[in-house]
Amino acid sequence: MTETAQATALQLVHDYYAAFNAGDRAAMLALLTDDVVHDLNQGARETGRDAFVAFIQRMDASYRERLADIVVMASVDGARAAAEYVVHGEYVADDTGLPPANGQRYVLPGGHSSTSATVASRASRTTTTSKTG
């Protein structure tokens, strides 16, 4: 039995967040196209794999995060997918423009959406509403 486009999109998003929680950045990046679009909640839109890698490196340097309560949704045609989750994190090293890090812990709602053929082609056009990618 072949997977439906919806099931493929759902699995892609689940795989991405499983890689995130495992700290497997290479697996995360393998699921993105070179023209990934990332809308930062704390800044402007960034486009491209290099910009996303720089974002991940900055986040990994200052934060330790895991996602819980992940709920993934996708359209029947697999052209759109979205996820909601709860970010459990710790601020471990100073981040530019923020107060000093003192191990502050936080729990925040987060979300992500992917659109168009990028989902179906094992990619992600990402719009995030949390600090996580």
17 part of a folded domain: yes
133 part of a folded domain: no
Which of 6, 26, 42 lies closest to 114 in space, CA to CA?
6
pLDDT at residue 50 in the model: 94
* This model's pTM is above 0.85: no
93 part of a folded domain: yes
- Domain extent, residue 25, equals 5-128
The Cα-based distances of 77 to 85, 98, 117 in angstroms read 23, 41, 10
pLDDT at residue 35 in the model: 85
C-alpha neighbours within 13 Å on the C-beta side of residue 69: 10
92 part of a folded domain: yes
What is the CATH number for 58? 3.10.450.50
* Total domains present in the chain: 1
88 part of a folded domain: yes
Beta strands in 1-40 (DSSP E): 37-39
61 part of a folded domain: yes
pLDDT, averaged per 10 consecutive residues of the chain (133 residues), comes to 79 94 94 85 84 93 97 92 95 94 96 63 37 40
pLDDT at residue 15 in the model: 94
23 part of a folded domain: yes
